[in-house]
A and B are shown apart, each in its own frame.
Chain A
């Protein structure tokens, strides 16, 4: 629905000179916030609608963490479609299937995990660059390398750094789920900070969990859900893929911790409960 709305806006912009789709980017609100508060002006290429959307993202993050990324972000959907399509093609073409299997077998899992962990810091770097840069210079410094901007202005094709980043993101998305969300999205970083206050999270019930790790495999952000009790990772986008993939239905549920609900006493966690599978005892 959001993708359709943005596509309609971009088409209108190209054909009729309507407002640019950039005005619908919530991150523009965060970029322009300092300039708006201190001078009353908007950073170039941002509009008041960006501020409204930024507030909407904050409200959403306060209630349900990164749910904006999982349910509303059109660029996340773009990457997800690319990945799903690539996987579907690889499933149906035997040489690609064999190549994928060979890569999986030969890849160094530990090296990849370390690389992945280091690359995930990129979100914070990009966030700092975008916010501080916009505050200091009064312009959207991230725009030169923003793949979302490049995608919005694809009709006015121009070989630029932003377009290069878009191509790299698209290629990576064929192999990795949501690469930009994982490693570079500053809006995801903002939600990771604000979402710490969210009362809603996915919880794993160890009593009914079979430890099959299908939830972990389904997670587009590669969170090891099957080792968590309450998924409060900053990377969680609340997409519920893990919940949908869980074969033991009540094992993963969306739960809300309201302020009126008092915390359990410290000893309550050690109450005896049946342990269905040794695999579920992996991480305590």
Chain B
């Protein structure tokens, strides 16, 4: 008995079935159990929520790199892995490396983190007016025509790695003593 389906012949390989059997679509070899739709939906909604709650419990749930003090002008970068409690505590933490400088940080944050950089040098590099307030965020300066952050980071990296004496020599004449 050949598997032809109906009267019209079907081209292609001929499948043979045992006598008295009819062709049916192939069934999965997996043994499965029906999952109620509500249980399926509950799984979809609950699983991510549980992971997020676990992330919060482990202190990994951070939506921003800044602490509360950042909005107040002093700024802080929460370390990866520090928990919400650490962020809430708002312990001021300045960037430790030029790569850590973010747009939400202020001019004061950078000056605090890199003592070798003077306010005048930094503002000159940022193309910002000399009377720019220290609590101004870097991204605000960048939006007003200042240099972008990657350029600033590159400059900071060069400036930090340079010896103090050399930095003084290369400082703009206007700010030199």
Chain A positions within 8 Å of B, measured between CB atoms, are: 9, 17-20, 23-24, 36, 40-42, 47-49, 51-53, 55-57, 59-60, 63-64, 67-68, 71-72, 200, 203-204, 206-207, 229-230, 238, 240, 243, 253-258, 261-264, 266, 268-270, 272-275, 278, 280-281, 283-284
Contact = CB atoms under 8 A, between A and B. Distances in A.
Interface stretch (B43-51, B108-116, B119-127, B164-172): B43-51
B30 A230 contact: yes
Contacts of A64: 40, 43-44
A255 B41 CA distance: 13
11 contacts: A9-B63, A19-B63, A48-B61, A52-B60, A68-B44, A71-B41, A71-B44, A255-B34, A256-B33, A257-B33, A268-B27
Contact of A55 (B32, B35, B41, B55): B55
A64 B39 CA distance: 12
A206 B27 contact: yes
Given A19-B63, A47-B63, A59-B48, A261 B30 contact: yes
Counting chain B CB atoms within 10 Å of each CB, which of A51, A52, A59, A255 scores highest? A52
B129 interface: no
A88 to B, nearest CB: 25
Interface SS, B side: loop
Nearest to B18: A270
A71 B5 CA distance: 40
Contacts of B130: none
A206 B35 contact: no
B47 to A, nearest CB: 5
A256 B35 CA distance: 6
B31 A280 contact: no
A53 B24 CA distance: 43
A42 B32 contact: no
Contact of A63 (B47, B52, B60, B62): B47
A157 B43 CA distance: 38
Contacts of A254: 34-37, 40
Nearest to A264: B29
A200 B40 contact: yes
Nearest to B21: A272
A278 to B, nearest CB: 7
Interface string B2-17: 0001100000000001
A255 B33 contact: yes
A10 to B, nearest CB: 12
A59 B28 contact: no
Given A255-B32, A283-B25, 12 more contacts: A18-B64, A23-B63, A47-B62, A49-B63, A56-B52, A56-B55, A64-B40, A238-B44, A266-B29, A269-B28, A272-B24, A281-B23
A36 B35 CA distance: 38
Interface core residue of B20, B35, B41 (most chain A CB under 10 Å): B35
B71 interface: yes
B156 to A, nearest CB: 15
B33 A230 contact: no
Given A270-B17, A272-B21, A49 B61 contact: yes
Contacts of A273: 22, 24
A215 B51 CA distance: 32
B48 A60 contact: yes
Contacts of A72: 44, 48
A200 B25 contact: no
Given A41-B99, A60-B47, A229 B26 contact: yes
A268 B27 CA distance: 8
A275 B45 CA distance: 37
Nearest to A255: B32
Which interface residue of B24, B37, B80 has the most chain A CB atoms within 10 A? B24
Contacts of A258: 33
Given A47-B65, A278-B6, A52 B26 contact: no
A203 B32 contact: yes
A263 B31 contact: yes
Contacts of A266: 29
